[in-house]
Chain A
Amino acid sequence: MDIKVNVRDHDGQRPCSIVDLNGEIDVYTSPKVKEAIMGLIDSGHYALVINLENVRYIDSTGLGVLIGGLKRVREHSGAVNLVCTNPQIKKIFDITGLVKIFGIYESEAAACENL
């Protein structure tokens, strides 16, 4: 029950920062995710792709971190797109209505292109 966070730059037509998350995001691990995302934003990165392909579990505190990041980048006219292929994780975004506020894509390439 841990989360691994990796941040990298994506140099494409639309340069962005990609946050790879691997593990479970809950009340215990979400502060680590928050630190990474807010750290990126505070250093001037407002185009973010958060890759949830290797996330096995997310709860409301994890969703809260993603919403907080989205709100923060929007203050700078930025955007956050998500990569999500796990049906259970997608279901959580569906029932909370967050599918309407996040761009959610099945591949990293699509998430980057549509920022």
Chain B
Amino acid sequence: MREPLTLEPTLSDDGLVELRIPSRAEWVGVARLAIAGIASRLQFSIEDIEDLKLAVAEACTNCIQHASESDSIAISCRIQADKLVVTVEDSGQAANHASLAPKQLGEPKVGGLGVFLIRSLMDDVEYELNPGSGTRLTMTKFLRT
């Protein structure tokens, strides 16, 4: 029997906020609202909050569109003094490497914009591709003083 999904964010002592959403389009907006709330609490600027919302939503969308056999997406936000580190992870079959590689936008086309946006909006982005156990995207946004 499948375990119930945890839908409420929890704040632990080490500054970690975790959220798990069903791997379905209608839940991406919830992840977006959650990251906006966290970033707002950390005094990120409105522009940076919008960047974080879009980057996290794009990461979730990638999980939904490219990871098969994943029923949920885990989002964890590690809060540090000068930065927010967000990890988005699915448990499905990994997206192919080509779709995650850095790319230049020449003639824009349908698809492929999500990863480009994440790399453009966040200060640091790392992918871990684990064949058979999913993809983990770790992205960092620094607080600007």
Q: Which of A26, A64, A71 contacts B113 (CB 8 A)?
A: A64
**Chain B, Cβ-Cβ closest to A89:** B50
- B110 proximal to A (CB < 8 A): yes
Binding site for B on A (CB under 8 A): 1, 24, 26-28, 57, 59-61, 63-64, 67-68, 71, 88, 91-92, 95-98, 101
Residues of B bordering A, CB below 8 Å: 25-26, 28-29, 32, 47, 50, 53-54, 57-58, 60-61, 64-65, 105, 108-111, 113-114, 116-117, 120-121
B31 to chain A, nearest CB (A): 10
Residues in A neighbouring B117, C-beta threshold 8 A: 59-60, 92, 95-96
Closest to B46 in A: A88
Is there an interface contact between B26 and A96, defined as CB atoms closer than 8 Å?
Answer: no
What separation, in Å, do the CA atoms of A91 and B54 have in the docked complex?
Answer: 12
Instruction: Indicate if the CB atoms of B110 and A26 lie closer than 8 Å.
Output: no
Q: Which of B54, B109, B111 contacts A92 (CB 8 A)?
A: B54
Instruction: Say whether A26 contacts B29, CB under 8 Å.
Output: yes
Contact B57 A26 (CB under 8 A): yes
B28–A26 touching, CB < 8 Å = yes
Assess whether A1 is in contact with B29, with CB atoms less than 8 Å apart: yes
Asked whether B110 lies within 8 Å of A64 as measured between CB atoms, the reply is: yes
Contact A88 B110 (CB under 8 A): no
**Closest CB-CB distance, B71 to chain A, in whole Å?**
17
| Contact present for A68 and B110 (CB under 8 Å) | yes
Residues of B within 8 A of A92 (CB): 54, 117
A64-B110, A88-B47, A95-B117 known; A59+B61 contact, CB < 8 A? yes
A28, A64, A95: the one within 8 Å of B25 (CB): A28
List, in ascending order, chain A residues with CB within 8 A of B50's CB.
Answer: 88
A95 to B61, CA, bound (A): 19
Residue pair B47, A27 in contact (C-beta under 8 Å): no
Asked whether, in the complex, the Cβ of A57 is within 8 Å of the Cβ of B53, the reply is yes
Q: Which residues of A contact B25 (CB under 8 A)?
A: 26-28
With beta carbons under 8 angstroms apart, the residue of A26, A59, A88, A101 that contacts B108 is A101
Q: Determine the residue in chain B with the shortest Cβ distance to A94.
A: B120
Residue pair A60, B105 in contact (C-beta under 8 Å): no
The CA of A1 and the CA of B28, in the complex, are separated in Å by 10
